[in-house]
Amino acid sequence: MVAVAAPRQLPRKPLILAGIVLAWLVLWLVFRNVGTLPLDASALTPLHRMINELNDAVGASRNSNPLFLYFFNEIRLVIDEFVTFVQALIAQPSFGRPVPVIGWLGVVAIAGFVSLVVAGWRVALLAVAGFVFLGLQGLWQESMDTLSLTLAAVVISLLFGIPLGIWAGLSDRANRVMQPVLDFMQTMPTFVYLAPLTLFFLIGPASATIATLIYAAPPAIRITAHAIRSVPHNTVEASESLGATRKQTLLKVLLPSARKTIVLGVNQTIMAALSMVTIAALIDAPGLGKTVVKALQTLDVGTAFNAGLAIVVLAIVLDRVTTAATERRKLPRWALFGGLGVTGVCVYLSYTYLWAAEFQSDVEIGSSIRQGATAVTEWAQDTLPFITGGFKDFVTFALINPLQALLAESPWFLVALVIVAVSFLIGGVRSAIVSAVCLGLLVATGLWQDSMITLASTLVATIMVMILGIVVGVWMGRSRRADRFIRPILDAGQVMPAFVYLVPFLALFAASRFTAIIAAVVFAAPVAIKIIADGIRAVSPTTVEASTALGSSSWQTIVKVQLPMARGALTLAANQGLIYVLSMVVVGGLVGAGALGYDVVAGFSQGQLYGKGLAAGVAIVVLGVMLDRLTQAAAKRWTN
Amino acid sequence: MDPVISVGNLWKVFGSNASQVVASDELKSLPRQELMERTGAVAAVRGVDFDVAPGEMFVVMGLSGSGKSTLVRCLTRLVEPTAGTIMFEGENILDADAKRLRDLRRNKFSMVFQHFGLLPHRTVADNVGYGLEIRGVPRAKRGERSQEVIDLVGLTGYEKSYPDQLSGGMQQRVGLARALAGDPDVLFFDEPFSALDPLIRRDMQSEVIRLHREVGKTMVFITHDLSEALKLGDRILIMRDGQVVQVGTGDELVGAPADDYVRDFVKDVPRSHVLTLKWIMRPPRPDEELDGPELAPETVVREAVRSVLSADKPVKVVQNGELLGVVADEEILGVVAGEA
């Protein structure tokens, strides 16, 4: 009904919106710094203390409460065992040996052989080179820890994800139940479930693996279900008409037809897992992530860069191998057995001899990389401040500060009223209610002012994402050549785990809100750009041609035809951009973003701030849900 | 001869309250639109009756939305009918359990689909052998039989190709071969050539006519194209809004349309290609001489034109030595001129 009435009301809405903002500004001047609900960095609310007590109580009853004894502890134990086993194989000294079961030579050989079988010899070469490079960086053991955790999480994710995906693909009812859960899991900012998990599973590899599972399993489920569902109905019908049983149809028609897409889902799962495993360093997961976090905390850009580079190398290798695996290929028999033999010999050598087990090399390039990165950082900080500093100051004073002042220095009820009113304008009563509930929850967390500061940064980052998205997206959408050139860069950007983005910007801009915002923009921009580029490209060529035939300039075609027609893509890009930006809030907390991000990070490291950190996590989720609902309501209204 | 398939009062209603609709005579008599408004149910097939004789090419024709595709799916229970009977070789298919139904599908009938429904990850030979594979036929025997039908449909040499390497017409030949591989008693065709170019469609129609002659199987053919129906069908069933409008041979439809709908449908058909002499003959007038040439009543008008126009006396239409009527210049010209 709203959609029907929309065309008549629309012209008046911008006016009402402007009126609201104007009223806000006036009231802001009057009520400035009244009722802003601030909370000191070390101050706690009763809620936070209660969660602390809950945490203590849970800690005390961990070995007596049956729920823990027979449920959570069991899960933790099984996963711990599994992770420890994988680590024992390739990463950690084990079984009374001073080195892992399979040393570097064996791992490199296995990586090369597996890549050869599933992805061909080019990719195999890349894999071998990549793994050797990890060793040369002096990060072999850290890399193997990260790889172990990733593999363990991926195996468990797929063990559950693929059958669940098949089920959701076959049964409409299962699909209806799973879709909203998956939606929620994917809109939830990545890092917030770390804290509640530690409540149940302690900190360490088990929690890290479970967090990774939660993050990495949804793509596997979703893509598998999608793959099964997109097998053409008539193919399935043809199989049925020939008298195939359900099992035969599944095994001979659905799964083979869906194979390529399912492998794509495996790829997504692996990349998500790698990204999350590095983040899980926040809750004491071993590996490269830990090296990065420690280096970030001591502002040691050189070390952070070296470890970040290792993550990127690992990401590229894993991505190339699984992407290439979507193509069917057949290896000649001699290559298969030859490769198997060589791998066997390498594994044996690495099991037996120390030189093949421990990566020791005279050509240690890790320290050179560290020194180089540090030198570049110092040079950049010494020589570029008038450019980087100017940009930083401009954005800070022109955008961040005013918006933050407006949001965080207004009385809370004023901000709440404005947001509810805007929600009503965009999405009607339902949106208004959702926003009101979310705002109430924000107040309840006791972190209102921090939430507003984070909201300000998030909005600034999203605006920058949209500017970048529209400029680059339109360019890509209009020029095939630009698309061919830029798309691989965006793809590579999306493959990189979130952490890695921080390093270069930390070097350029030092720790500040601005650094966190820029990192979030770089993290979120590829998605937005791709969505907008696809939206522009999807505008019917006939319409564009007609516009050109009427004598429009390129600018007129873009502004009057292509952008309006791609507005569905624009709102979707804004929605995804927001979600991605929000998921970087916690990471930003590591480099001076303050507010909610800092609260979460501090909660991990200091016991008495645990409750506050958890509340901050909830606040991020609530912000996420509110912004997601709002942008989706806007998208719905615009596309109808 | 006993019919192979005998369909009695078949109903298919989509919607959660389908069984209530077919249980109520009042609801059943409502037009589709009204039924939809009152109950939310869509009646796709409404009380359809027909028989198919062994070896017959039976065509079901209707426009999109007439329920013809649903009807053919009901016959193999790819869509579960709501009510009625489908007797196949004396057995009511609607009573078959899942296992019996699978047996029937594996051995007794098979289907050719509009969009082919081929498996993209299998070669032509493996696609053709798929039905045998799920029956558990050993590989060697499967290969032999596949090759036979591949040769039969003219795909020799393409055994190792994948479907996406073939043109639409060739893909449908694979679909045809797959349907033939299991040596079924009845073949169902669901608009098999609608997605093909006109020229290829004509080729494929001839191919089906040839196969029908060679393998002599009973065929039920769904189409929305009247000329295709007239070209292929021994008998044609015209469907509209889920109901049977008329069943008959091509010349019956053109010569004696059951209602305005059918009349409108066959309006543009070249009548001289379809009508036979029995549709245009008249009783001899008393003053006419009855010693002209003789023709059978099944002679198509087009083929009689020359003999009638060149004879200076009316042509006699004779069956078994009995004079049924006569045809003279004005009758022939009436048909031919009516087309222009």
Encode pLDDT of A226-284 as tens digits. 889 888 888 888 888 888 888 888 988 898 888 888 888 888 889 888 888 888 887 78
Scanning the structure block, which residue is given the tokens 């996420």? A624
CATH class given for the domain over B52-108+184-269: alpha beta
| B77 and A CB contact within 8 Å | no
Chain B contacts of A259, Cβ < 8 Å? Answer: 121
Nearest to B134 among A232, A237, A242 (CB): A242
Task: Give tens-digit pLDDT for B33-52.
Answer: 888 888 888 888 988 999 99
Nearest CA in chain A to B127: A239
Size of interface A-B (CB pairs under 8 A): 69
Give CA B273 to chain center in angstroms: 19
The residues, ordered by sequence, that sit 6+ positions from B313 with a Cβ below 8 Å of its Cβ are B288, B289, B290, B291, B292
Phi, psi of B117 (to 5 degrees): 65, 35
CA nearest neighbour of B118 among B74, B168, B80, B182? B168
Nearest CA in chain A to B73: A241
CB A225 within 8 A of CB A255: no
Residues of chain A with pLDDT > 70: what percent?
Answer: 95
Counting Cα atoms < 13 Å in the Cβ hemisphere of B331 gives: 24
Nearest to A248 among B78, B134, B182 (CB): B134
Q: CA of A259 to nearest chain B CA: how many angstroms apart?
A: 10
Task: Give tens-digit pLDDT for A389-437.
Answer: 778 888 888 888 888 888 888 888 888 888 898 888 888 888 899 899 9
Phi, psi of A197 (to 5 degrees): -65, -40
Chain A contacts of B188, Cβ < 8 Å? Answer: 241
What is the reported pLDDT for B289?
79
The residues, ordered by sequence, that sit 6+ positions from A392 with a Cβ below 8 Å of its Cβ are A509, A512, A514
Decide if pLDDT at A5 tops 60.
Answer: no
Select from A233, A234, A241, A326 the residue whose CB has the most chain B CBs within 10 Å, as the one to mutate to test that interface: A241
Decide if pLDDT at A186 tops 80.
Answer: no
- Contact: B105, A252; criterion CB under 8 Å: no
Nearest to B102 among A232, A243, A256 (CB): A243
- Contact: A243, B135; criterion CB under 8 Å: yes
Nearest to A242 among B101, B105, B116 (CB): B105
Task: Give tens-digit pLDDT for A38-94.
Answer: 777 777 777 878 887 877 777 777 777 777 777 788 888 888 888 888 888 888 887
CB B330 within 8 A of CB B307: no
Quick one: DSSP state of residue B284? P
- Contact: B114, A257; criterion CB under 8 Å: no
CB B158 within 8 A of CB B124: yes
| B113 and A CB contact within 8 Å | yes
Residues of chain A with pLDDT > 90: what percent?
Answer: 8
Chain A contacts of B103, Cβ < 8 Å? Answer: 243
CA nearest neighbour of A464 among A555, A377, A398? A398
Chain B contacts of A237, Cβ < 8 Å? Answer: 78, 113, 117
Residue scoring higher pLDDT (B59 or A597): B59
Handedness of CA B252, B254, B257, B261 (dihedral sign): positive
What is the reported pLDDT for A191?
65
CA nearest neighbour of B112 among B197, B207, B48? B207
Decide if pLDDT at A6 tops 60.
Answer: no
The residues, ordered by sequence, that sit 6+ positions from A476 with a Cβ below 8 Å of its Cβ are A482, A483, A486, A487, A529, A533, A536
Nearest to B117 among A235, A245, A248 (CB): A235
CA nearest neighbour of A219 among A167, A260, A298, A272? A272
Positions of E strands within A332-374: none
Decide if pLDDT at A164 tops 70.
Answer: yes
Select from B93, B134, B171 the residue whose CB has the most chain A CBs within 10 Å, as the one to mutate to test that interface: B134
Residue A213 to residues A27, A47, A160, A221, Cα–Cα distance (Å): 47, 29, 10, 12
The pTM of the full predicted model, rounded to 2 decimals, is: 0.75
Nearest to A257 among B104, B107, B119 (CB): B119
Domain boundaries, chain B: 52-108+184-269, 272-339
Decide if pLDDT at A167 tops 90.
Answer: yes
Fill in the amino acid letter for B181. A
For the CA atoms of B191, B195, B200, B201, the dihedral, rounded to the nearest 10 degrees, stands at: 30
Positions of E strands within chain B: 5-14, 42-52, 57-61, 83-88, 91-92, 109-112, 186-190, 218-223, 235-240, 243-248, 294-295, 315-319, 322-327
Residue scoring higher pLDDT (A348 or A585): A348
What is the reported pLDDT for A466?
92
Nearest CA in chain A to B77: A241
d(CA A547, CA B92): 62
Phi, psi of B193 (to 5 degrees): -110, 5
Q: CA of B88 to nearest chain A CA: how many angstroms apart?
A: 16
Average pLDDT of every residue of chain A: 82
Task: Give tens-digit pLDDT for A26-44.
Answer: 887 777 777 777 777 777 7
Return the structure tokens found at A161: 């994800």
Return the axis-axis angle of helices A104-119 and A121-136, rounded to nearest 10°: 160
Give A487: exposed, middle or buried? Use CB within 10 Å, 0-12, 13-18, 19+. Answer: middle
- Contact: A238, B175; criterion CB under 8 Å: yes
What is the reported pLDDT for A2?
40
Decide if pLDDT at A388 tops 60.
Answer: yes
d(CA A307, CA B304): 93
B325: how many CB neighbours lie within 10 A of its CB? 18
Phi, psi of A243 (to 5 degrees): 90, 25
What is the reported pLDDT for A163?
93
Task: Give tens-digit pLDDT for A207-222.
Answer: 888 888 888 888 889 8
What is the reported pLDDT for B223?
92
Q: CA of B132 to nearest chain A CA: how many angstroms apart?
A: 9
d(CA A373, CA A623): 36
What is the reported pLDDT for A8?
44
Residues of chain B with pLDDT under 50: 340
Q: CA of A625 to nearest chain B CA: how many angstroms apart?
A: 35
Counting Cα atoms < 13 Å in the Cβ hemisphere of A78 gives: 9
Mean pLDDT of A147-153: 91
What is the reported pLDDT for A7?
44
ipTM of the complex: 0.74
What is the reported pLDDT for B221?
92
CATH class given for the domain over B272-339: alpha beta
Task: Give tens-digit pLDDT for A348-385.
Answer: 888 887 777 777 766 678 788 888 888 887 887 777 77
Decide if pLDDT at A166 tops 70.
Answer: yes
Phi-psi region of B160 (alpha: psi -120 to 50; beta: other; left: phi over 0): alpha
